[in-house]
Amino acid sequence: MGREKIVITGLGVLAPNGNNVDEFWSACTAGKSGIGPITYFDSSDYRASIAGELSDFQPETVLDPKEIRKLDPFSIYALVATDEAVKMANIDTDTVDLDRVGVTIGSGVGGIQTLEEQHTIIETKGPRRVSPLFVPKMIANIAGGHLSIRWGFRGPNQTIISACASATDAIGIAMRFIMAGDADMMICGGTEASVTPLTIAGFGNMRALSPRSDDPIKASRPFDNDRDGFVLGEGAGMLVIETESHAKNRGATILAELAGYGATDDAFHVTQPAVGGAGAYKAMGRAIKDAGLELTDIDYINAHGTSTPFNDRNESAAISALFGDHCTKLKVSSTKSMTGHLLGAAGGIEAVVAVKAIQDQIIPPTINYDTPDPDCTLDYVPNTAQTHPVNSILSNTFGFGGHNAVICIRKYD
């Protein structure tokens, strides 16, 4: 007998180009970038001075101002995005068995803003001035804890840290929790608030960030021959997933099926992907096998597509090697061209892209694709969204340390 389907019933997004699902998806299909000059601090002496910051974000619409002051932004983002997802899923906490609802959240660095602020305080004002809230604001698991406290979710609660693969791993592991019988419903995704002086300096000094500060919107250019680094972004992407029977029993609207998950490690290098994308190749293959699909069933890949020379070349090689002749029919795009790279939250917002692409049968573009790279030979949906039949999608995320995580989302039947 086949396993029961795991379905997606709620979505929530905070991204540089949209503060909710509708805004975000409209911007993605319109090719609208959310990248601009950094406003959070003076970045004039940094190698890179642009980022994908949230715009006109008002957490007070969801959270009490007193509560906001006690939270690091990465927790705030998770709470606001989850609020949207919970409302979309129409979860009634009075009727759902909260002992059977869990949380998995991915984050690359957790509360790094709080860490930097409090380190400055201890250096300039001494240890007695460090906030007593420092630890519970900063630790990476606290966002998941806040979600459980706010809605009363008493099932499994874990935080996944696998660099830029974190959110996708969190979604995949949430799926495994349900399959193992440990939960009926999981809240899962990723959150990141890492546009900070230390993070921008660190990535910049390792030459990972695009230096195109004079033209921010054009800086993130995945698969383009003139790409020169990624642009850091921030935000959160959250999903509600549950068994098909659980969703039907409570009358939920099913948006799509979470069909498969694959994860590997390159075991190669701390920052560079394996030659030819060997680990990515295997992770994609595992996700497709887990979904019970064939290679030819995949219509679209939301690529990791960071706009770095190594990633884009190796990811393209992995896709080409795995899919072979099917590449002539396969669409591939990177929405990081519009959002920047949200690190541990990237897989969360990109899973939302996958669901919306299936719902609307539209594939968002890779913007800033002007000069083809001879090493990247796929159809990257250049610059303009395309209406196209979309039934099965892979969402790829790969991270420092060699982490590779891929999920397969398909049209619900």
Positions marked active-site: 164, 304, 341
Give the Cα separation of 367 and 310 in Å (integer).
19
- For residue 142, give every residue at least 6 positions away whose Cβ sits within 8 Å of its Cβ, in sequence order, or none: 72, 75, 110, 111, 136
In angstroms, how far is the first alpha carbon of the chain from the final one?
Answer: 18
CA distances from 47 to 22, 102, 186, 201, 204 (A): 34, 41, 40, 7, 5
Among residues 193, 164, 203, the alpha carbon closest in space to that of 43 is found at 203
Among residues 197, 171, 203, 169, the alpha carbon closest in space to that of 186 is found at 171
Length of the chain: 413
- At 95 the three-state DSSP class reads coil
CA atoms within a 13 Å half-sphere pointing along the CA-CB vector of 297: 19
Whether the Cβ atoms of residue 265 and residue 279 lie closer than 8 Å to each other:
yes
Backbone angles phi, psi at 93, to 5 degrees: -70, -10
Among residues 256, 188, 232, the alpha carbon closest in space to that of 405 is found at 188
Whether the Cβ atoms of residue 12 and residue 82 lie closer than 8 Å to each other:
yes
Among residues 411, 410, 369, the alpha carbon closest in space to that of 386 is found at 369
Indicate left, alpha or beta for 384 from its phi (over 0: left) and psi (-120 to 50: alpha): beta
List the Cα angle 252/256/258 in 5-degree steps.
Answer: 110
- For residue 104, give every residue at least 6 positions away whose Cβ sits within 8 Å of its Cβ, in sequence order, or none: 144, 156, 157, 158, 159, 160, 170, 171, 173, 174, 177, 186, 187, 188
Name the β-bridge partners of 263.
405
Give the Cα separation of 370 and 365 in Å (integer).
12
Q: How many other C-beta atoms lie within 10 A of the C-beta of residue 249?
A: 11
Whether the Cβ atoms of residue 386 and residue 362 lie closer than 8 Å to each other:
yes
